[in-house]
Structure 1
């Protein structure tokens, strides 16, 4: 298992457009330490409440961590679309996971699902291990804040 320092040493140098980075810091991989966004007149904020890995009928189709993550990400996108937003409008994500070891073990599959659903957009992101989630079968819960420009 990689610790945060080792993870950062493996990161490529240089932030992508829109990412805020401190001079001399290694570039994070799969997330941003900060996002710089210009809030214009007519821009909208969308706050997506915590989405878990169940479908639109509130039914779990899997207990697998990576599969629940994929469904939670699809749910996030569905809510964003209702507000006229897309994945690239996400400014920040917070992930609540019940088991850090399970989350870390699922990194490769989570990354694959993330790229398929969100693409190569990496917002400011925080992951937190929690004692439990309200829904007993939920393995992960994801909340998002998006900034939608006036033209979108």
Structure 2
């Protein structure tokens, strides 16, 4: 049996980011998807304070950025045929150690009862200086 692959919310980087937040800085027009489902596995693009239409939320507010990122995760999983309960692994990137309590309080609300594996990293920076956090998610859809 061969797994089929579906790509959700395809976009070009230069068209997605608002001016002043990287649109003109892209020298290459990259083409990505917000979610890819291959068989029962779902891989999400790292989610941040950008909503799925490219509007940024939470300037200087890691909790608000994390809230937006988690809302995106839920929506993308559902569009790909999964749920939050299917999440197996999350990786959280923060630009400051002090952001841990605020970001993880939001994550705890969204992942209550899921018990995914989790890795947290403190990084020097993300794609844009306004980004304070990013969450990367992998899921396996159950029961198929």
TM-score if structure 1 supplies the norm length? 0.63
Aligned to 1:93: 90
Give the aligned CA root-mean-square deviation in angstroms: 1.7
Aligned ranges for residues 53-132 of structure 1 at < 5 Å?
53-63=49-59, 64-104=61-101, 106=102, 110-111=104-105, 113-132=106-125
8 Å contact 1:90–1:123 — kept in the other structure?
yes
**Larger relative contact order (CA 8 Å, sep ≥ 6):** 1
TM-score if structure 2 supplies the norm length? 0.66
Partners of 2:127 and 2:121 in 1: how far apart? 15
For residue 41 of structure 2, the aligned residue among 45, 52, 55 is 45
The runs of 5 or more residues in structure 1 that have no matched partner are 1-42
Could you say which structure has the higher strand fraction? 2
User: What is the total number of aligned residue pairs between the two structures?
Assistant: 105
Query: How big is the shift at 1:135?
Result: 2.3
